[in-house]
Amino acid sequence: MASSSSHRDDGSDWDSAEEMEAESAETLCLFCSKLCKSPELVFKHCSEDHDFCISSLVAKLGLDCFSFIKMINYIRSKDITVESLQRIDASNVPWQDDKFLQPVLSDDLLLTYDVEDLEAGGDINKDAVTISQAEYTSLRQRLFQAEEAIEKMRYHRPRVQRLSTEHYPRFMSLHSSLVVSPPKKIAACSKRRLEIHLKFTGLNIICDVGSQNGCTPTEAYRKALEMNAETSIKGRVVLDVGCGTAILAMFAARCGASRVIGVDQSDIVFQAMDIVRENDLHGTVTLLKGRLEDIDLPVERVDVIVSEWMGYFLLFEGMLDTVLHARDHHLKPGGTLLPSRCDLFLVALCDKALHQRHIGFWGDVYGFKMSCLKKEVAREAHIMLVGSQSVCSVQPALVKSLDLNICNVEDTNFTSDFEFEVAPGADEITAFAGYFDSAFELPVPVVLSTSPQAEPTHWKQTVFLLEQPIAVRPGEKITGKLDCRRDARRRRELLVAITLRDQTYQYCLS
């Protein structure tokens, strides 16, 4: 179904952005007014002119990505000297407060620098290599393309494997009933067609034809459109952002929309054109290939925008940016956004078996201790289905509510306090789980929920495991804070920090 017009691409838009950044961005020194062309040159300048080696300080204090960002903002806000920095001890760093996550300078490239590069590189002045600006830009472009390709494969692989297992027998049966050919030829042809099918369904298209009963997300969109056809769709112009196979566009056309425009950057749009034509809807539905931000629509404004833009933990992938661009540039005043509101929730889990499988397991691996890996596993946010019996908070905590009519891109970075009451029978918290609800606020309202109590969806839940479970008592009130930030270097990814009982647990959703 819907897929991001911003993340299903060939990398050309990222290439131009990277090239512009390399050519025009400048970074202010930490201690003087000198501007440098890159973070690396800032670090080199600091070492040569201020006798300050940032990699040594990072190693000495054991800084991770969050604390590195805090340190940079602390230095810029306090006008601190090199001598003062060198006297700081790891046990009492002065930038613990989360207020130092707030940038002091806008577009500060030092905040986008990967601290692991410093850890791996040591003194950046040693064995330095000088290359031309063109070579540097080319290398950065190639690296970014490789990272994007790896990220896409890692993200889509589990779903492609699942679809292959579930749908290949059905695909074979369907093909055999339609084609008269020798068995071997049928099998070869069917496997090839399945490969094409999976190529597209692996690009975050909700399974439009994979289930007899329909998938929950597709069904929710269908109900929202059809049950509100007379009041909200009929006679209106509809824009489908990230149209995928055009299933939503065709729903809108069937509900009486006067015109439907679908936009998608993936090659699936060419198959979608055939699907629209096959269903004799090409007089109403127009499909365009490309990045929405770069396309001239055939109409100036639309009445309705529909999009399945949500990612894991609601905000992973960053497709909301494109939807908000569509709202600001193409939606008529008072127009309709579907969905119109998304709420992000957090619940506490008490699932000792799950904790043992993912964390405790490393304490005894065939008789060997691999405890150092617990921390690495615990830093990763895990996408999995959570049983409702594992939830140990009486009520979910609402950590973010997005009104799509008025929110902006900056709202994707947020900090929220939360409070839980521990449910009866729970004696410890082993993890937290995040999920979202998407509301279609129409005359006949519809809610698409991804909670552990709802019917499972491909979004599942996002689980944040604790390296060490926290002891609790039934009825106890647990308070904490959740901080969610988009990764400055990889905008599709999320950095999440959960603070509880004066301890902060940090996670990466990638």
CATH number at residue 230: 3.40.50.150
Tokens of 419: 């409070």
182: cis peptide before it, omega within 30°? no
Angle between helices 183-201 and 133-178 (to 10 degrees): 140
- The angle formed by the CA atoms of residues 393, 481 and 456, to the nearest 5 degrees, is 45
Tokens of 286: 């127009």
> Mean pLDDT throughout 399-419?
97
Residue 482 and residue 394 in one domain? yes
What does the alpha-carbon distance between residue 454 and residue 388 come to, in Å, rounded to a whole number? 9
Residue 291 and residue 350 in one domain? no
CB distance 172 to 188 below 8 Å = no
CB distance 1 to 205 below 8 Å = yes
Residue 382 and residue 470 in one domain? yes
Is the pLDDT confidence value at 372 over 90?
Answer: no
Indicate whether 487 belongs to any domain: yes
What does the alpha-carbon distance between residue 55 and residue 232 come to, in Å, rounded to a whole number? 58
What does the alpha-carbon distance between residue 35 and residue 45 come to, in Å, rounded to a whole number? 10
Indicate whether 296 belongs to any domain: yes
Is the pLDDT confidence value at 171 over 90?
Answer: no
Q: Which residue has the tokens 């950095």?
A: 495
Q: Which residues pair with 345 in a beta bridge?
A: 398, 435
What local confidence, expressed as pLDDT, does residue 178 receive?
37
Indicate whether 170 belongs to any domain: no
* Residue where one domain finishes, among candidates 96, 119, 142: 119
Beta carbons within 8 Å of 487's beta carbon, 6+ residues apart: 493, 494, 495, 508, 510
What local confidence, expressed as pLDDT, does residue 144 receive?
66
Residue 256 and residue 391 in one domain? no
Long-range Cβ pairs for the range 488-491 (8 Å, 24+): 488/111, 488/112, 489/112, 489/114, 490/147, 490/151, 491/318
Residue 280 and residue 371 in one domain? no
Residue 291 and residue 374 in one domain? no
Q: How many Cβ atoms sit within 10 Å of the Cβ of residue 206? A: 23
Considering 113-127, 206-220, 271-285, the range whose residues carry the highest mean pLDDT is 271-285
Indicate whether 266 belongs to any domain: yes
* Residue where one domain finishes, among candidates 119, 143, 178: 119
Q: Which residue has the tokens 């921390």?
A: 375
Residue 378 and residue 273 in one domain? no
What residue type is 271 in one-letter code? Q
Work out the pLDDT band at 26, boundaries 50, 70, 90: confident
Q: Which of 105, 307, 287, 280 is nearest to 221 (CA)?
A: 307
Residue 382 and residue 428 in one domain? yes
Tokens of 346: 């957090």
Query: Which position has the higher pLDDT, 8 or 69?
Result: 69
Residue 230 and residue 102 in one domain? no
Work out the pLDDT band at 91, boundaries 50, 70, 90: confident
Is the pLDDT confidence value at 507 over 90?
Answer: yes
Q: What is the pTM of this model?
A: 0.61
Residue 481 and residue 432 in one domain? yes
**Number of structural domains in the chain:** 3
Buried-state track 50-88, b at ≥16 Cβ within 10 A, e below 16: bebbbbebbeebebebbbbbbbbbbbbeeebebeebeeb
Average pLDDT, the chain: 82
Residue 417 and residue 269 in one domain? no
Indicate whether 222 belongs to any domain: yes
With H, G, I as helix, E, B as strand and everything else as coil, classify residue 485. strand
Indicate whether 204 belongs to any domain: no
CB distance 404 to 306 below 8 Å = no
Structural domain including 275 reads 217-308
As annotated, the active-site residues are 308, 317
Residue 346 and residue 489 in one domain? yes
Angle between helices 268-278 and 247-254 (to 10 degrees): 30
What does the alpha-carbon distance between residue 369 and residue 373 come to, in Å, rounded to a whole number? 10
What local confidence, expressed as pLDDT, does residue 194 receive?
40
What local confidence, expressed as pLDDT, does residue 192 receive?
39
Is the pLDDT confidence value at 12 over 70?
Answer: no
What does the alpha-carbon distance between residue 431 and residue 465 come to, in Å, rounded to a whole number? 4
Work out the pLDDT band at 174, boundaries 50, 70, 90: very low
What does the alpha-carbon distance between residue 270 and residue 80 come to, in Å, rounded to a whole number? 58
Over pLDDT 90: what percentage of the chain? 54
Indicate whether 142 belongs to any domain: no
Work out the pLDDT band at 492, boundaries 50, 70, 90: confident
Considering 13-17, 79-83, 465-469, the range whose residues carry the highest mean pLDDT is 465-469
What local confidence, expressed as pLDDT, does residue 158 receive?
60
Q: Which residue has the tokens 């930490």?
A: 30
What local confidence, expressed as pLDDT, does residue 130 receive?
58
Over pLDDT 70: what percentage of the chain? 76
* Residue where one domain finishes, among candidates 119, 140, 161: 119
pLDDT digits (tens, 9 = 90+) for 198-227: 333 434 444 433 333 335 799 999 999 999
CATH number of domain containing 437: 2.70.160.11
Indicate whether 418 belongs to any domain: yes
